[in-house]
Amino acid sequence: MQELDDVYALPGMLTLAETDCLYQLGQFDQRNGVIVEIGSWKGKSTVALARGARKRHGEPIYAIDPHRILPEEGYYEDTEAEFRATIKGCGVDDRVVPMVMSSAQAARGWSRPIRLLWIDGDHRYEAAKLDFKLWEPHLVVGGILAMHDTIRKRGPKRVLWEEVFRSGRFQEIAIVDNITAIRKVGQASISARLRNYSTLALRALYIAARKSRIANSKNVGRRLLKQWTRQPWLPALSLIFLRAIAG
C-alpha cells in the first residue's frame, strides 16, 4: 500500500499485513468516539492508525505508553524521544495525543467514549487483563476491540479467551496474523455465536499448524484464517489476503 511505504520501514513488531490492518482499523467510522492505543513503543502502530483515521474522520489517537525500560518484556531503552520524532516525521503529530504514563494512570478520570481500542502493551497475563478491565467499559457498543500477539503470547491469548470469547458480548472476529479484532455488542446472537465457535475451531487448527513440521502448513493456515474472518467493517482484509497469496 503506497501510503504506508514509509511506515513499513519503521522499527516495530508488526508484519506488513498487520500494518495494513491497523491502517484499515484506523478508518473505522461506524461508531462515534476516539481511538485509544495501549502500547505505542516507537510509533509504528500509532502512525498506521493515524494515517487511517485521517482518511475517514477527525478523531485523534490517544497513544498510551510510559516509554520506560521494561526488561521483563524485553524492552531496554526509553523510547519517548524516538516515538515523538516518528509521529512528527510521518506527519501525524497533529493527530496523536501522547500520554506518557501507564495504562492505569491514563485510565484515572477517563470518560470519553472509544470507537476503537487497540491493546498492545505489557503482554504478561495480569497486565494484559488489567488493560482490558480498565478500558473495555469505555468501548462503545458497536465499537472494535483489537489486540496484538493473540496467537503467540500466552497473556493476550488467555485474556482474549476468558474476557472476550466466553463473554457473549462480542462477535464478528477478524484475525490478521497476530492481530485479533472483534466487535462489541450487547449480546451476541445465536448465529453469531455459532460463527464465533467455528472461527475459534479454525484458529485452534492454525495454532497447531504453527507448531507442525508439515511443509507450508503455517502459511496455508494463516491465509485460510484471514479469508474466513473477513468482516464488512474491515473491507481491505480481502485485499490483504490476496496480497499475501501473491507474495
Average pLDDT rounded to a whole number, residues 165-183: 95
User: What predicted TM-score, i.e. pTM, was given to this entire model?
Assistant: 0.90
Q: Give per-residue pLDDT as tens, 200-240.
A: 999 998 888 888 878 788 888 888 888 899 898 886 544 44
| pLDDT tens digits for range 19-58 | 999 999 999 999 999 999 999 999 999 999 999 999 999 8
Contacts of 5 (CB under 8 A, 6+ apart): none
Comparing C-alpha atoms, which of 118, 193, 134, 125 is closest to residue 159? 125
What is the number of other CB atoms lying within 10 angstroms of the CB of residue 29? 15
| pLDDT for position 159 | 97
Handedness of CA 201, 135, 68, 94 (dihedral sign): positive
Amino acid 105 reads Q
For residues 147 and 183, the answer to whether their CB atoms sit within 8 Å is no
Q: In degrees rounded to 5, what are phi and psi of residue 171?
A: -155, 175
Q: Which residues contact 216 (CB under 8 A, 6 or more apart)?
A: none
Question: At residue 111, does pLDDT exceed 60?
Answer: yes
